[in-house]
Amino acid sequence: MREELSGTINKIKLLIETDVNLGIDEYYLMDNDSRALKVRRLEELRGEVLKCRKCALSKTRNNVVFGEGDPDADLLFVGEAPGRDEDLAGRPFVGRAGKLLTKIINAMGLTREKVFIANILKDRPPANRNPKEEEIDACRGYLLRQIEIIEPKVICALGTFAAQVLLKVDTPISRLRGKFYDYHNIKFMPTYHPAYLLRNSEGKKPVWEDMKKIMNELGLKNNDSSSCS
C-alpha cells in the first residue's frame, strides 16, 4: 500500500515536472472549481477596477460601479454608465431605471443574483452627460474581461449606447433591437434602455418580445401571462 502510494506520488511529480518544462504553471479544475475560478478572477479584476485612474471620471466619482451578480451567469445585461444613485451606492441599476430592470429580470423567471449586470463605463459621467470617446476607450477592456471571465450565453445590451459601442455601429436602437447578433461567439440582443421605457411605455411590449427571445435561447420557461409592464 505504502509502495503503491509512493509510486503514484512519483508519477504525479513527473507529470507536474513535465508541465513545468512545457511552461504550464497553473492548473484549472473543472465544474465546481471552474465557478470558483471565475469568482476569484472577477474579484481580482474588481480590485484592479476599484483602483483605476485611467480617465478623469475617477476624480469626480464617489464609487466605482464594477457590476454585480452571478460570476457564472448565462445572461449578462450591459447598460451605459452609473447614474447618481449608482455612483452613491457603488452598485449598477439601483435607481428608477434599475427597479424596472429588476422587474424585467423577475418577469423572465430570474433574479438579479442569477444574472450579471454591468455597464460600459464603471464611473459616473458628471451630471449624467454622454460618455466621451476617451472614457469609453479607457473602460472598454474591463467589460471585455468581465465577458471573458463570465462566459455568458447571451448578452443583452440596454439602450443605444451599449448596443452601438459593442457592435461598433451607429444604427439607431429601434433598428438594432429584436434580433440576435454575434458578439465573439456570444448571442447578443440589443433592446431599449429601461430609462427610455420610463418615458415611453409603448417600448415595453417590444422589450418583452426581446426578453422572450432571450428566454427561449436560454431554455427558460415562458409563462405568457408575465410581462415587464
Question: What does the binding site for ligand URA look like in residue numbers (CB under 6 A)?
Answer: 79-83, 86, 92-93, 97-98, 119, 195
Exposed/middle/buried for 216, CB within 10 Å: 0-12, 13-18, 19+?
A: exposed
Rounded to a whole number of angstroms, the minimum distance from the CB of residue 120 to ligand URA is 8
Rounded to a whole number of angstroms, the minimum distance from the CB of residue 119 to ligand URA is 5
Nearest-CB residue for ligand URA: 79
**Is the CB of 71 or the CB of 79 nearer to ligand URA?**
79
Go through 166-199 and write b for each residue having 16 or more CB atoms within 10 A of its CB, e for each that does not: bbeeeeebeebbeebbebeebbbbbbbbbbbbee
Rounded to a whole number of angstroms, the minimum distance from the CB of residue 92 to ligand URA is 4
**Is the CB of 83 or the CB of 152 nearer to ligand URA?**
83
**Is the CB of 70 or the CB of 80 nearer to ligand URA?**
80
**Is the CB of 45 or the CB of 88 nearer to ligand URA?**
88
Rounded to a whole number of angstroms, the minimum distance from the CB of residue 97 to ligand URA is 5
> In DSSP terms, which residues pair with 188 in a beta bridge?
155, 181
The pairing of beta strand 68-69 with beta strand 116-119: antiparallel
The pairing of beta strand 154-158 with beta strand 75-79: parallel
